Amino acid sequence: MKNGGRLQGRVAVVTGAAQGIGAQYARALAAEGASVVVSDVLDAGPVAAQINEGGGRALAVACDVTDAQAVLAMVNAAVARFGRLDILVNNAALFGTVSRKRFEDITSAEWDRMMSVNVRGAFECVKAVVPAMRERKYGKIVNIASGTVFKGQTMLLHYVTSKGAIVAMSRSLARELGDDGIRVNTLAPGLVMSENVRSNWSADKVRGTVDSRAIKREALPEDMCGTLIYLCSSESDFVTGQVLVVDGGAVMH
């Protein structure tokens, strides 16, 4: 891990970080010097152990982002362990294992579950971290949306709608939290070849996405990390309420 990295001395929480893109986010933040709370409903211990064994600082915390008390306990654990909280990456979401289907075949229960995890989960995490950030008059919140918001993806209406809500939420939060020195931005990835996507998306669907890009290759989790580090670092201190799409030029936003 870097001594004197761009996030040296900062403390970050990454939700949904036990695997896939979230795990890569956690590793990237640690590589830039941040102490990282690796949070998930799944076992985040292996990711935290990897960071610690590599010379970084990480703490695994089990947390369901739809449970307000569990989220508050996660934040308290972060502050108790590392003494402060500077960065939240709201990554936890349902996507990789979600079945693609026509909108009329999405059940009300499926819709409600998607909104509970993807939208209310992000809301609960922001509510929980803001007091610690307000104390220092500084913070970075990066909400993870999706390039599908700007394309109008078929067969995933509940997912795309939830990520549209994240964009709107981020803009409103940026207005509310600006006077507190807290920046709120949105990272919107295109289709990224995480383990779950590779397992659940057909080659034809992936190829169609790649063909829509100006840079015609598959996106990997590490492709998202340069933008994430920028949004979490002091380099973006005058940037808030913005959406950065990272998808190889499928969306030119």
> Average per-residue pLDDT in the chain?
95
- Choice among 25, 138, 159, 230 that is catalytic: 159
Residue 3 has pLDDT above 80, yes or no: no
| The CATH fold of domain 11-246 | Rossmann fold (3.40.50)
Report, as an integer, the average pLDDT of 30-56: 98
* CA 133/CA 160 separation, integer angstroms: 30
Q: Pick from 52, 50, 59: which is nearest to 12 by CA?
A: 59
**Mean pLDDT score, 72-93:** 98
Binned at pLDDT 50, 70 and 90, residue 99 comes out as confident
Coil, helix or strand at residue 89 = strand
Beta strand extents in 25-126 (DSSP E only): 35-40, 57-62, 87-90
The per-residue pLDDT for range 170-221, each reduced to its tens digit, is 999 999 999 999 999 999 999 999 877 787 777 888 898 999 999 999 999 9
Instruction: Label residue 235 exposed, middle or buried (CB < 10 Å: 0-12, 13-18, 19+).
Output: exposed
Structure confidence at residue 163 as a pLDDT band (50, 70, 90): very high
In angstroms, the CA 81 to CA 180 distance is 24
Question: What pLDDT is stored for residue 226 in this prediction?
Answer: 98
Cα 76 from Cα 241, distance rounded (Å): 27
Residue 1 has pLDDT above 70, yes or no: no
CA separation (Å) from 150 to 14, 145, 194, 233? 25, 10, 21, 26
Residue 108 has pLDDT above 70, yes or no: yes
Average pLDDT of the residues in 142-152: 97
Q: Which of 161, 221, 159, 154 is nearest to 191 (CA)?
A: 221
Is 159 tagged catalytic? yes
Q: What pLDDT is stored for residue 36 in this prediction?
A: 98
Cβ contacts of 189 within 8 Å, gap of 6 or more: 21, 144, 146, 147, 219, 224, 245, 246, 247
CA-nearest of 122, 123, 124, 92 to 22 is 92
Residues 6+ apart with CB under 8 A from 152: 160
User: What DSSP state is assigned to residue 218?
Assistant: -
Where does the pLDDT of residue 2 fall: very low under 50, low under 70, confident under 90, or very high at 90 and above? low
The pLDDT assigned to 179 comes to: 98
